[in-house]
């Protein structure tokens, strides 16, 4: 084995010293230092040798690898110096900055929201994008004749199934699979069959939350959401709660954030009110608990939901939701 290493070393030295261009140098590097080189095969076979021979061959193999790597680098520097002397490489020219990709702005926003809620004790739960009528509507106190279904313009697929219109079905599936206490957030993409405009899209991201236990109160809901918004936008931002309606919560509330543009003075973004509607929330309706087999006389809980795209718009100053999905790198590089 040692004799073979000497033969490989002699051939490799000759190959590196005789390389005259990048191609011949790369060929030599692959042949003697590449993953499929004989030198690497010898390294992988060390485990089959007896201990004494393994030490000798292993030491010789590592020494040869270091020597050949140094010869390869010397050959590369030699070629660069030759190019400089012949004027083939002009070091005064500006370099080319490579384009480096990064995560999409919506994903970065989603990760930030998840990070905040994890610090508040929530775990992330996921569910299928193709749902059935029970999990998407019926279990959430939205029967077939309920007017709230008109707000969920639905994409239907084969077999009477549908693309989920919110991530609330994840809450139902979690409650069906375990007993309280439950403290989860359900982030993900949702789908609605509606025309796209500056503030609406047929697919977008939502994040919904659920907390169920004994003696959960409205004050806990207000405290968690206020803490979340202060972590996201700063301690000085105003937050207000006002009465609202959702079929799956009672009582329900709309949560508004003080306008980030005018700081509450009134502007076109907030339509002169000084406030921007950000999310909906409320105490879980007893009918929802009955649908998943919970006793509403024993358990209470709260739920909330927000649009990730809308939060991304507010954080980046974007005035058209469609920009997030058009894959225009000029826009994505700015946000």
**Pick the residue with more confidence: 261 or 211?**
211
Residue 293 has pLDDT above 80, yes or no: yes
Domain limits, the chain = 2-86, 105-332
Q: What was the pLDDT predicted at 77?
A: 87
Q: What was the pLDDT predicted at 334?
A: 80
Write phi, then psi, for 224 (nearest 5 degrees): -65, -45
Cα-based distances in Å from 133 to 120, 160, 182, 223: 32, 8, 23, 33
Average pLDDT over residues 23-39: 87
Residue 312 has pLDDT above 90, yes or no: no
Beta bridge partners of 275: 258
Specify burial of residue 228 (Cβ count, 10 A radius: 0-12, 13-18, 19+). Answer: buried
Residue 45 has pLDDT above 90, yes or no: no
Q: Which CATH superfamily is domain 105-332 in?
A: Bira Bifunctional Protein; Domain 2 (3.30.930.10)
- Please answer whether residues 141 and 288 qualify as being in contact, where contact means their C-beta atoms are separated by less than 8 angstroms: yes
Average pLDDT over residues 71-75: 89
Average pLDDT over residues 90-116: 85
Confidence class for position 83, pLDDT limits 50, 70, 90: low
Mean pLDDT is lowest, of 80-84, 118-122, 139-143, 291-295, for: 80-84
Q: What was the pLDDT predicted at 269?
A: 66
Q: What was the pLDDT predicted at 90?
A: 65
Residue 152 has pLDDT above 80, yes or no: no
Confidence class for position 8, pLDDT limits 50, 70, 90: confident
Token pair of 297 as six digits: 């006389």
The side-by-side arrangement of strands in the sheet containing 123-124 is: 123-124, 182-191, 203-213, 300-307, 275-284, 249-258, 239-246
Average pLDDT over residues 161-180: 95
Average pLDDT over residues 228-242: 91
- Please answer whether residues 294 and 212 qualify as being in contact, where contact means their C-beta atoms are separated by less than 8 angstroms: yes
Confidence class for position 86, pLDDT limits 50, 70, 90: low
Mean pLDDT is lowest, of 6-10, 146-150, 166-170, 312-316, for: 146-150
Average pLDDT over residues 136-157: 82
Cα-based distances in Å from 269 to 24, 80, 106, 279: 63, 58, 21, 17
Residue 260 has pLDDT above 80, yes or no: no
Residue 329 has pLDDT above 70, yes or no: yes
- Please answer whether residues 307 and 206 qualify as being in contact, where contact means their C-beta atoms are separated by less than 8 angstroms: yes
Residue 169 has pLDDT above 90, yes or no: yes
For the stretch 198-220, pLDDT in tens is 777 888 899 999 999 999 999 99
- Please answer whether residues 40 and 96 qualify as being in contact, where contact means their C-beta atoms are separated by less than 8 angstroms: no
Which candidate, 190, 121, 120, 177, places its Cα nearest to that of 151?
Answer: 190
Cα-based distances in Å from 185 to 28, 48, 58, 270: 55, 52, 53, 28
Rounded distance, CA 103 to CA 112, Å? 12
Across the chain, what does the average pLDDT equal? Answer: 88
Average pLDDT over residues 172-188: 96
């Amino acid at each position: 084995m040692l004799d073979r290493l000497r033969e490989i070393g002699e051939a490799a030295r000759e190959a590196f010293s005789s390389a005259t261009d990048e191609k011949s140098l790369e060929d030599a590097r692959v042949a003697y230092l590449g993953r499929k080189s004989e030198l690497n095969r010898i390294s992988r076979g060390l485990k089959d040798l007896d201990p004494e021979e393994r030490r000798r061959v292993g030491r010789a193999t590592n020494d040869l690898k270091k020597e050949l790597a140094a010869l390869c680098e010397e050959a590369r520097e030699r070629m660069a110096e030759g190019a400089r002397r012949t004027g083939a490489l002009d070091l005064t020219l500006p370099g080319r900055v490579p384009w480096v990709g990064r995560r999409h702005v919506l994903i970065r926003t989603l990760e930030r929201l998840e990070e905040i809620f994890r610090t508040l004790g929530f775990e992330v739960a996921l569910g299928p994008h193709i749902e059935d009528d029970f999990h998407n509507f019926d279990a959430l106190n939205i029967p077939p004749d309920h007017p709230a279904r008109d707000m969920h313009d639905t994409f239907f697929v084969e077999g009477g199934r549908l693309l989920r219109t919110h991530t609330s079905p994840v809450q139902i599936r979690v409650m069906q699979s375990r007993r309280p206490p439950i403290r989860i957030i359900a982030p993900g993409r949702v789908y609605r069959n509606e025309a796209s405009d500056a503030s609406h899209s047929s697919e977008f991201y939502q994040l919904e939350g659920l907390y169920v236990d004994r003696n959960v109160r409205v004050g806990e809901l207000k405290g968690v959401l206020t803490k979340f918004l202060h972590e996201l936008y700063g301690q000085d931002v105003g937050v207000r709660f006002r009465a609202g309606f959702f079929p799956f919560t009672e009582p329900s509330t709309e949560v508004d954030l003080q306008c980030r543009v005018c700081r509450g003075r009134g502007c076109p973004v907030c339509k002169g009110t000084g406030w921007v509607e950000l999310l909906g929330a409320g105490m879980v309706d007893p009918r929802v608990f009955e649908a998943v087999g919970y006793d509403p006389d024993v358990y209470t809980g709260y739920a909330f939901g927000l649009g990730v795209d809308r939060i991304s718009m507010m954080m980046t100053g974007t005035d058209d939701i469609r920009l997030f999905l058009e894959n225009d790198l000029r826009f994505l590089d700015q946000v």
